[in-house]
Amino acid sequence: MKEYSQYLEKVKGFLADNDAKLIAHYYVDESIQRIAEDTGGIVSDSLEMARFGNKQKESKLIVAGVKFMGETAKILNPDKKIFVLDSNATCSLDESCNHDEFLMFCKKYPDREVVVYANTSAEVKAIADWVVTSSIAVSVIEYLTSQGKKIIWAPDKYLGQYIVDRTGADMLLWDGACIVHEEYKALELKKLISKYDCDVLVHPESPGEVIALADVVGSTTQILKASQSLPNEKFIVATDKGIFHKMRTLVPNKLFIEAPTAGKGATCRSCAHCPWMGMNTLECLEKALREGTNEIFVDETTAKKALQPLERMVAFAESNNFRVRKR
Ligand code: 13P
Ligand code: SF4
């Protein structure tokens, strides 16, 4: 405990001396999550990370997460310096959506609104009309559909199909997937459910047959809120295991069980933990603080174009009250 409090004081000092704030995602190491909160930063889903960074007075933001989160912070805060803990920490969704190929695809359907997931590069965002995160994707598509829009969606095919199923929207889907959520296995999940009197919480980047077994489908924050508000004492959770730290801190009296990734066709490329989120270590944090390494830069023209769909997302989120989606 003494060790942690000493370390915390050191990091606080570094952050204050450098006029910096730490913003972390729920999937990063629990020590970094604790430090972010104990130094006045935040641990949250990707939407709240973007919104929080936008409101800080500090001139530097240190983003513990993956590259697209750092780029989003930079685009929304061009006058701030943004750092990530490891510049190689990417995302399989971001990697699946190459700018030139996606541009060619969009050009084939000029009558369609282009909606991209936040888990994309700045260049891909620059092509889009809207950026969304999992917490507001359904609401934004419902809104666009009510306006009579047809949609191009990229890159997550599972989230895209989930949105189509919920909203009936006319959407063309890009063929991308998250290597963590794609691994959840419906058959094994069914077996696990039969053993417990539990609710099942699923992130919508999971395959459709896993989503079909869910009681609640939502972003990381929405899943956490469900674990607090639902009366059940036991939950099976299909999202990166980094989230268990926050879950068990918020609701220590409940039982949280990992959804299975083993079973027929299993590859265990990630075993329910994002390898890129895992690159956010205390050593990297110290290095970033000490040496100011891994600053994020986004080309000015790209940033200007990407700002518009990102600002739409933030404005939409400010003007709407998002509920946990109970199936
Ligand atoms: P959230 O927006 O739900 O935090 O998701 C981000 C992410 O990368 C999930 O894999
Ligand atoms: Fe990307 Fe999946 Fe990792 Fe999230 S968990 S950053 S979607 S690879």
Residue among 23, 27, 47, 206 to mutate when testing ligand 1 (max atoms within 8 A of CB): 27
CA of 6 to the centre of ligand 1 (A): 31
Reading the chain (327 residues) residue by residue, the pLDDT tens digits are: 678 889 899 999 999 999 999 999 999 999 999 999 999 999 999 999 999 998 999 999 999 999 999 999 999 999 999 999 999 999 999 999 999 999 999 999 999 999 999 999 999 999 999 999 999 999 999 999 999 999 999 999 999 999 999 999 999 999 999 999 999 999 999 999 999 999 999 999 999 999 999 999 999 999 999 999 999 999 999 999 999 999 999 999 999 999 999 776 666 666 799 999 999 999 999 888 889 889 999 999 999 999 999 999 999 999 864 443 444
> pTM score, two decimals?
0.94
Q: 3-state SS of the chain?
A: CHHHHHHHHHHHHHHHHCCEEEEEECCCCHHHHHHHHHCCCEEECHHHHHHHHHCCCCCEEEEECCHHHHHHHHHHCCCCEEEECCCCCCCHHHHHCCHHHHHHHHHHCCCCEEEEECCCCHHHHCCCCEEECCCCHHHHHHHHHHCCCCEEEECEHHHHHHHHHHHCCCEEECCECCCCHHHCCHHHHHHHHHHCCCEEEECCCCCHHHHCCCCEECCHHHHHHHHHHCCCCEEEEECCCCHHHHHHHHCCCCEEEECCCCCCCCCCCCCCCCCCHHHCCHHHHHHHHHHCCCECCCCHHHHHHHHHHHHHHHHHHHHCCCCCEEC
Q: Whose CA is nearest to atom 6 of ligand 2?
A: 91
Which atom of ligand 2 is found nearest the CA of 205? Answer: 7
Q: Which residue's CA is minimally distant from atom 4 of ligand 1?
A: 45
